[in-house]
A and B are shown apart, each in its own frame.
Chain A
Amino acid sequence: MSNLNIANRYANALMKLAVDKSIFDAVSSDIELVYNTMRSSRQLQVALCSPVIRPELKLKTLTEIFQSRISPVSMDFIQFIVKKNREDMLFNIVKQFLELRDKKLGIVNAKIISASPLSDEQKEKLKLRFEELTGKKVRFSYSLSNNIIGGFIVRVNDTVYDASLRHQLDLLKDKLLKENYSMN
């Protein structure tokens, strides 16, 4: 069974549990915390995946980090995962959970790459336009790149909306090259 499949199953189980106990908001903010912690600390990820470190030690570490910060249900879930020897999958599981949560709440993630920082007005305009386009709430993350020369690129899931100058120039180059032999 693929890793994604396993992560999906655990994430789904947690989701159902949280909804049944109507503590969905609390659990999802807990998981977000776990996700952010793990993403920022590579050491923690490596430690969890390492077969040399004993599970008891991993559990102890996780308990120490999260015990005081997250709800008992979330803590139990982490303990359960470690008990099942799936601690190496923890990162995938929380990632999957967040994806499921976004799907449930009707939120899509969009990455914006722009050549220069966007003003608040521009951001607001983009947000409105993309919410109209996708029919969902859009959560933006911004980054800068000189590579694209000008304009911006928005990526929503697998779809790219490319309004960068670099891409325009590439298209223009293709067009000129292709029509070259009919030009005389």
Chain B
Amino acid sequence: MAEVRPDEVSAILRRQLAGFENEVDVYDVGTVLQVGDGIARIYGLSKVMVSELIEFPNEIFGMVLNLDEDSVGCVIFGDYSMIKEGDTVRRTKRVASMPVGEAMLGRVINPLGVPIDGKGPIHTEKFLPIERKALGVIQRQPVKQPLQTGIVAVDAMIPIGRGQRELIIGDRQTGKTAVAIDTIINQKYTHSEDAKKVGIKPVYCIYVAVGQKSSTIAQVVAKLQEYGAMDYTTVIVASASEPAPLQYIGPYSGATLGEYFRDSGRDALVVYDDLSKQAAAYREVSLLLRRPPGREAYPGDVFYLHSRLLERASKLSDAEGGGSLTALPVIETQQGDVSAYIPTNVISITDGQIYLEPNLFNAGVRPAINVGISVSRVGGNAQNKAMKKVAGSLKLDLAQFRELEAFAKFGSDLDKATMKTLSKGARLVELLKQGLYQPVPVEKQIVSVYVGTNDYMESIAVEDIKRFEKEFLEFVELKYNDIFEKIRVEKVLDEQVTDRIKKAVEEFLPKFKKTELAAV
């Protein structure tokens, strides 16, 4: 039988206690005057800082938000029913901060960095404050590298660059989260050896879930795991059942973790899903702290709430390491009202928006992106040159299609040119449809958009477009793989490539018709 020798035990104890010094411990304290609804007022703590973490009994933490003349107002991150009037509160002398590091990847944590996925403690070495000032002009450079979402409509017409802030806005149930999740899944390619060879840097992802149902979050995590995206992703959860203060700081924690990757010269993507719920949580906290309400009862600094968060997204200059933090904030509108308070605020802060419409969604156009009013103000500079070339005519064709679409409803006689525009438009709309969690690599996107805009699909029925695209891409992959290879490596669409695509289409078209007949 194995034995433990007593001297071994005492040796271990001595080693454990080696660093322990019994000096006088000095700390500052205060007393709880009033507690309730997730906030507390404290007397004392005369030297406390704004947004400092303070410790209540039972290891509950709080954050100071108000410094009043004779009391301190703070929010409580935890079960406030455990705190009583007269309890002693201690300063921690550090502003609200969270642990950051590589070890966070693949984990599900709460906004204070505490793991909640049951996989044990996270070993990190660094703590960073949750609220940090955004970088200045000197440290930045314009957005210049693309961030591929894998969604054809977005990558072609609303391109997103690394370091950009692109808003995803739409009513409930229009696929906002799906766009964000697709984007995260599509970053898997950037972590591969192939991407390294062509000089694409890996993108680390952070998904911040604010005020969502825990079941929805569990589904998202399961999907990310299923597609192998959790290896490079951290999920920060402040679900609907968490106290409002945690929901309020959730997005800031996400930004802090993203900044850790950015500051070490890497690229990061952070999704804030969603900021309307964060604004509501902040409203709750503010009203409880008796800050004066403004429009829609939001406090006066609700614009600053979002602007200081989104300003932290940036592309660093080469001197600073060239890292980037891309932000994809999500806003849920009510009944398509984009002119409400919070949506207009966030629209004005971001570098463009992807607008999702319930009508399109119900008509089967999914992702339900309204390309007419969706824009990207800076992504164009970052777009793949080859994609830029083919996307120009796509945008134009779709714009003409939308203009004529209304006329077509009257069913009157239309001239040949109009008919042609309409049929081409319908085919392009069909081409942009895409399944859930099926991101498409950029070279395939380019080839299919090229084929669509150059009238090769005229002879194909609208309902066959998706099948045609799928089979054509498979055909090219088998017989003309050099096309994909060339676009991927050189990122240009020169005469040589277009000739090869033309050749491939001309070879494929007769074959496709045959299979169609055979099917009948």
Point out residues on A near B: beta carbons under 8 Å: 2, 4-5, 155, 157-163, 167-168, 171-172, 175-176, 179, 181, 183
Quick one: given A158-B46, A176-B16, A181-B121, are A171 and B70 in contact (CB under 8 Å)?
Answer: no
Complex-state Cα separation, A132 to B139, whole angstroms: 47
Q: Are A158's CB and B26's CB within 8 A?
A: no
- Contact partner of B25 (CB less than 8 A), chosen from A171, A176, A181, is A171
Point out residues on B near A: beta carbons under 8 Å: 12, 16-17, 19-20, 22, 24-30, 44-47, 69-70, 120-121
Q: Are B69's CB and A162's CB within 8 A?
A: no
Q: Are A158's CB and B45's CB within 8 A?
A: yes
* Shortest Cβ gap from B222 to chain A (Å): 28
* Shortest Cβ gap from B71 to chain A (Å): 9
Q: Are A160's CB and B16's CB within 8 A?
A: no
Quick one: given A181-B121, A183-B16, are A157 and B46 in contact (CB under 8 Å)?
Answer: yes
Quick one: given A4-B69, A4-B70, are A159 and B16 in contact (CB under 8 Å)?
Answer: no
Across-interface contacts of B22 in A (CB, < 8 A): 168
* Shortest Cβ gap from B68 to chain A (Å): 8
Q: Are A2's CB and B26's CB within 8 A?
A: no
* Shortest Cβ gap from B76 to chain A (Å): 20
Complex-state Cα separation, A162 to B28, whole angstroms: 10
Q: Are B25's CB and A162's CB within 8 A?
A: yes
Q: Are B27's CB and A160's CB within 8 A?
A: yes
Across-interface contacts of A168 in B (CB, < 8 A): 22
| Minimum CB distance partner of A182 in chain B | B123
Chain A binding surface, main DSSP class: mixed
Q: Are B47's CB and A5's CB within 8 A?
A: no
| Minimum CB distance partner of B48 in chain A | A158
Across-interface contacts of B69 in A (CB, < 8 A): 2, 4-5
Q: Are B70's CB and A158's CB within 8 A?
A: no
Complex-state Cα separation, A175 to B20, whole angstroms: 8
Q: Are A172's CB and B17's CB within 8 A?
A: yes
Complex-state Cα separation, A46 to B311, whole angstroms: 56
Across-interface contacts of A175 in B (CB, < 8 A): 16, 19-20
Across-interface contacts of B25 in A (CB, < 8 A): 161-163, 167, 171
Quick one: given A167-B25, A181-B121, are A158 and B47 in contact (CB under 8 Å)?
Answer: yes
Quick one: given A2-B70, A4-B69, A183-B16, are A162 and B24 in contact (CB under 8 Å)?
Answer: yes
Residue contacts A-B, CB under 8 angstroms, 18 given:
A2-B69, A2-B70, A4-B70, A5-B69, A158-B29, A158-B47, A159-B26, A160-B26, A160-B28, A161-B24, A161-B26, A167-B25, A168-B22, A172-B17, A175-B16, A176-B16, A181-B120, A181-B121
* Shortest Cβ gap from A109 to chain B (Å): 14
| Minimum CB distance partner of B91 in chain A | A158
Q: Are B20's CB and A172's CB within 8 A?
A: yes
* Shortest Cβ gap from A176 to chain B (Å): 6
Q: Are B27's CB and A162's CB within 8 A?
A: yes
Complex-state Cα separation, A90 to B118, whole angstroms: 57
* Shortest Cβ gap from B10 to chain A (Å): 14
Q: Are B30's CB and A158's CB within 8 A?
A: yes
Residue among B19, B25, B28, B29 with max Cβ neighbours from chain A (10 Å): B25
| Minimum CB distance partner of B22 in chain A | A168
Q: Are A158's CB and B44's CB within 8 A?
A: yes
| Minimum CB distance partner of B30 in chain A | A158
Across-interface contacts of B47 in A (CB, < 8 A): 158
| Minimum CB distance partner of A2 in chain B | B70
| Minimum CB distance partner of A155 in chain B | B29
Complex-state Cα separation, A161 to B20, whole angstroms: 18
Complex-state Cα separation, A163 to B29, whole angstroms: 15
Across-interface contacts of B20 in A (CB, < 8 A): 171-172, 175
Complex-state Cα separation, A183 to B20, whole angstroms: 16
Q: Are B17's CB and A163's CB within 8 A?
A: no
Assuming A2-B69, A175-B19, what are 20 further A-B pairs, CB within 8 angstroms?
A157-B46, A158-B30, A158-B44, A158-B45, A158-B46, A158-B47, A159-B29, A160-B27, A161-B24, A162-B25, A162-B27, A163-B24, A167-B25, A171-B20, A171-B25, A172-B20, A175-B16, A175-B20, A181-B120, A183-B12
| Minimum CB distance partner of A172 in chain B | B20
Across-interface contacts of B12 in A (CB, < 8 A): 183
| Minimum CB distance partner of A163 in chain B | B24
Complex-state Cα separation, A167 to B24, whole angstroms: 10
Complex-state Cα separation, A175 to B121, whole angstroms: 16
Complex-state Cα separation, A175 to B63, whole angstroms: 24
Complex-state Cα separation, A163 to B44, whole angstroms: 21
Complex-state Cα separation, A167 to B20, whole angstroms: 13
Across-interface contacts of A157 in B (CB, < 8 A): 46
Across-interface contacts of A158 in B (CB, < 8 A): 28-30, 44-47
